[in-house]
Copies of this chain bind each other. A is one copy, B any other.
Amino acid sequence: MLIRKMNDVEAETLDVDGAQNTTIRVVFGPRQGAPTFALRQVDLAGGGRTPHHRHPYEHEVVVLEGNLIMVGQDGEKPVTPGDAVLIPPDEEHQFKNASDTEPARVLCLIPVQHQK
């Protein structure tokens, strides 16, 4: 049994085109021996956003803190803590912090073979 305090996991800047003010922590991934899916904590500072992109695997997302806008093929939807989001494979998507000043935090899980 491996217990990790998520906030103590090293944060990496999400350094891809279109990302702003966003870090990612790989809590459970290949290095921790996660067999099937990777658990990541994503923090978006005020004005933060992930790239608007797509890929051939799903996201399962849980909002922990803040107010976000989830962008999908049906437009923009607001989400708040306690909301969970399933983004199917190949759907274009983006997470945007709805606030320019307050932080937002989500969990974002993917199949482990797609986690570096």
Contacts and interface: CB of A to CB of B under 8 A. Distances in A.
B34 A60 contact: yes
B34 A37 contact: no
A105 to B, nearest CB: 10
A23 B22 CA distance: 34
Interface stretch (A13-21, A44-52, A79-87, A96-104): A79-87
Interface residues of A, number: 40
A88 B37 contact: no
- So how many copies of this chain end up in the complex? 2
Nearest to A78: B3
A27 interface: yes
Contacts of A64: 64
A34 to B, nearest CB: 6
Nearest to A8: B82
A73 B35 contact: no
Interface of A: 1-7, 27-28, 32-37, 39, 57-58, 60, 62, 64, 70, 72-74, 77, 79, 82-89, 91, 93, 107, 109, 111
